[in-house]
Amino acid sequence: MDRSLYVFGNKSGSPYTKSGAGTIWGRLMDKYMEKHADTGARRFALNHIRPAAITEKFERRDADRYDFAAHTQTATTDSVYDRRAIRRSKPLS
């Protein structure tokens, strides 16, 4: 197996292109949906994983939720990642 400087390199050791990474993610999601079809699972994007994990820590009231988020201000974690509450917005008029 060839070595690569990239954590997720392709078979030739080069970085994946945007479309190549999208194809891989799509295949992973297809397998996930197939495996969890009976649970009501929904597709998700890679950038949803961290906020979901932090929100889960809030729901469980884990003591390390702020350390896990790694923000210097707890208010940042509360405003950005705590997605338990549904926030309603007012329409522009």
| Burial bucket for residue 81 (CB in 10 Å: 0-12, 13-18, 19+) | buried
pLDDT band of residue 83 (cuts 50, 70, 90) is low
Locate the domains of the chain by residue range: 15-44, 46-81
Condensed to tens digits (0 to 9), the pLDDT of residues 4-41 reads 677 877 888 888 889 988 999 999 999 999 999 899 88
Condensed to tens digits (0 to 9), the pLDDT of residues 44-82 reads 888 888 888 888 888 898 889 889 888 888 888 888 776
CA 89 to chain centre: 24
* Residues 26, 30: Cα–Cα separation, whole Å: 6
- The amino acid at residue 11 is K
Q: Which residues of 1-93 form beta strands (DSSP E)?
A: none
Tell me the whole-structure pTM to 2 decimals. 0.57
What does the pLDDT read at residue 4?
66
Q: Is 9 helix (H, G, I), strand (E, B) or coil?
A: strand
